Amino acid sequence: MIVTALRVMNRRYFMRSLAALFLGLWVLSIPAGAQETDIVHAKPALWAVEKGENTTYLLGSFHLLPKNYKWYEGIIQSSFETADELVMETELTPKATAQIQGLLIKNGFFGGEDNLKNHLDADRYAKMLIYAKKLMGQEEAAAQKMKPWFMAMNLSILTIMSNGMDPNSGVDKYLEGLAKQRNMALTGLETASDQMMALIDHPLDVQAAMLSETLDQLDDFKAVMDNYLTAWASGDSDKISKTMVDDMKKYQGIYEALLVNRNANWIPAIEGHINSGKTVFVVVGAAHLAGPDSVLKMLEDKGYKVNKIQ
């Protein structure tokens, strides 16, 4: 059944699905943008922790952006150009890609007789089928075998991409390219498998609730997503918290798995970078740097002085 479902998806769609697994935030935390002809100069929040003569920078990222958003300028550019090392949520290596493919196949689809129809109300199930056909070209037999988390992710990522968003324009991807050009050290805070399981490992009722809300939000996609992009581009931590973080708190298990627990797991590695004697540039999803359970708050609780420099 799993192999049959995978064969229904063409190669381009499968690779898009695979790419989406690296986003590091719940897919609904990714915005839709303005027309690509309108240049927008974004000012995302940038923080700094100083130790001796070196500084650890922390930048709030969006993993997919419209191509017309300009953010790599001013203090972000000058800070990055002084860095010895770029630290991302996870480093995508060929081995990591293979691991994610295995996890996707193992966890993305129902086995046996179970299917999505058993986990959604009739109206949302019908809506899911409409979007699956529209965005993925999938008929009911294939669509209903996708688990709720995987269906939610794919519907969201394909809607995002159809609205002008591009992984290659995302903050992480752009900085990774610059780091490779400069032969900078490049490391991750977690493994690809850790990141995947934070998204996957939830009871089916929680997954179904996430898919239900995804389906509801797709009906008003641009308005919902514009709020997230506006908050990120402003660099206003309160706005980011009220949009991205508060939205995730509706599902406590997902909030803890995707934000709170991962933030806590990253702290030892970030402390290591702060005390490494090097200038380090850390880029993580913007929601990880906002709200009461943020990386910044955890660092402050440990006695570090964190300064917002943009």
Q: What are the C-alpha distances in Å from 243 to residues 143, 155, 247, 250? A: 30, 20, 6, 12
| DSSP β-ladder status, 165-166 and 65-66 | antiparallel
pTM, rounded to two decimals = 0.82
pLDDT of residue 167: 65
pLDDT value of residue 159 = 83
Instruction: Concatenate the DSSP letters of all residues of 116-151 into one string.
Output: GGGTS-HHHHHHHHHHIIIII---HHHHTTB-HHHH
Q: Which tokens hold the place of 282?
A: 């850390």
Pairwise CA distance, residues 108 & 288, whole Å: 25
Closest CA to 251 of 218, 289, 213: 213
Residues making up the chain, counted from first to last: 310
| Structure tokens belonging to residue 22 | 């690296």
Q: What is the DSSP letter of 293?
A: T
> Where are the strands (E) in the chain, listed by range?
40-41, 46-51, 54-61, 65-66, 69-70, 85-88, 165-166, 185-188, 280-285, 307-308
Strand partners, 50: 55
Each domain of the chain, given as residue ranges in start order, spans 2-308
User: What helix, strand, coil percent values describe the chain, rounded to 5?
Assistant: 55, 15, 30
Residue 51 to residues 275, 279, 295, 307, Cα–Cα distance (Å): 7, 9, 17, 12
Angle of helix 192-200 versus helix 261-274 axis, rounded to 10: 160
List 58's β-bridge partners, or say none: 47, 282
Full pLDDT tens readout for the chain, 310 residues: 222 222 233 333 333 444 443 333 333 334 344 445 688 899 999 999 998 889 999 999 988 788 889 999 999 999 999 999 999 998 767 777 777 777 888 888 998 999 999 999 999 999 999 999 998 888 999 999 999 998 988 888 788 777 767 667 789 889 999 999 999 999 999 987 888 888 888 899 989 988 998 898 888 888 877 888 899 999 999 999 998 888 788 888 888 888 999 999 999 999 999 999 999 999 999 999 999 999 999 999 999 999 999 9
Determine the number of helices (DSSP H) and then strands (DSSP E) in the chain.
Answer: 16, 10
